[in-house]
Amino acid sequence: MSAKILSFMNEKGGIGKTSFTFNISWELAKRDYRVLLIDLNGQEANLSYFCGLDDLNSQFPARNDIDTICEVLRGKRTISDVTIQIKENLYLVPANNDVEHINQSAGTKTFREALNKAREAYDFIFIDVGPSTNWNQYMTLACADYIVIPMQPNVASLQSNIGASQSIVEAQSEINPGLRVLGILFNEYTTRTNVSRFAMQQAELQAEKLGTTVFEHGIRRSVAMSENPQLHEGITDYAPNSDAAQDARLVTDELIERIQEAEQR
């Protein structure tokens, strides 16, 4: 086993990066893949929250009392030292605010080495980052194998894709020549409005420039997805018959297919 390292990345917040990371990982784990989640977004630690780590009623201690990705980036712990099991096949390296004080250049080298050691124990490693172009995006672009660009079907999202694309192209030429874009993936997907159809056409053009395509499947807007963060359970388990769960399963299928295709090239 040697895990593929992926990240959902876009410079806009509230677009579904953490939702995709959590729900697709959850579904992959259900399918018997071993998945590691890494929360690198210390300011919000949203992924840790999705996983139930910061919930008063959860089985976990408050996140300030436990070792996190910070200790890994400082070279004091390995990834396996700080990994917490969320459910069968699904594991988390949590974050807290402290991660904002990491030295970027030292941290990147340490992070890459730590990830390479962790690869053998997993099929997939997902890194969740914050919205802005800061050190945690830089580090992820330096260490990942694949980036997926999530977007919503609107003009603001198209604009933020341009920034994300530039960062990716820069990373490919400067720090990580093997980095590949798996596709642009729609969240809150709909074909009902003119603006969404416009956004989809434009997204195809943006994808072409990055040598990729738009995912055929996306996740529709739904109440179940908006409830998702505080339930600490993947959509395919807590609302398995919902449209969003059906979408999440199709996106997972497509993600696996796209990785398999990319690996054969």
Ligand X SMILES: Nc1ncnc2c1ncn2[C@@H]1O[C@H](COP(=O)(O)OP(=O)(O)O)[C@@H](O)[C@H]1O
- Asked if 188 is part of the footprint of ligand X (rule: CB under 6 A), the reply reads yes
Build a one-symbol-per-residue string for 232-251: x at contacts with ligand X by CB under 6 A, - elsewhere: ------------x-------
Smallest gap from Cβ 51 to ligand X, in A, equals: 13
CA 178 to chain centre: 18
Minimum distance of ligand X from residue 223's CB (angstroms): 7
Using the structure block, give the residue that is written with the tokens 């398995």: 240
Cα–Cα distance measured from residue 17 to residue 216, given in angstroms and rounded to the nearest whole number:
18
Member of 93, 168, 171, 219 binding ligand X (CB under 6 A):
219
Q: Site mask, ligand X, residues 95-134, x = CB under 6 A?
A: ------------------------------------x---
Report the distance separating Cα 106 and Cα 81, nearest Å: 20
Q: Between residues 202 and 222, which has the closer beta carbon with respect to ligand X?
A: 222
> What per-residue string of b and e applies to 123-156 under the rule 16 or more CB within 10 Å gives b?
bbbbbbbbbebebbbbbbbbbbbbbbbbbbbeee
Of the two residues 93 and 200, which places its CB atom closer to Mg ion in the complex? Answer: 93
Selection from ligand X, Mg ion, none that 7 binds (CB < 5 to 8 A by kind) is none
Least Cβ distance, residue 51 to Mg ion (angstroms): 13
CB 218 within 8 A of CB 186: yes
Q: Which of 3, 9, 11, 18 contacts ligand X by CB under 6 A?
A: 18
89 binds ligand X (CB under 6 A): no
Q: Are strands 124-128 and 90-93 parallel, antiparallel or unpaired?
A: unpaired
Binding flag, residue 46, Mg ion (CB under 5 A): yes
CA distances from 105 to 122, 139, 141, 142 (A): 26, 8, 13, 10
Candidates 18, 89, 140, 236; binder of Mg ion (CB under 5 A) is 18
- The yes or no reply on residue 17 touching Mg ion (CB under 5 A) is yes
Chain center to CA of 24: 9
Which residue matches tokens 């600490």? 232
Binding interface with Mg ion (CB under 5 A): 17-18, 46
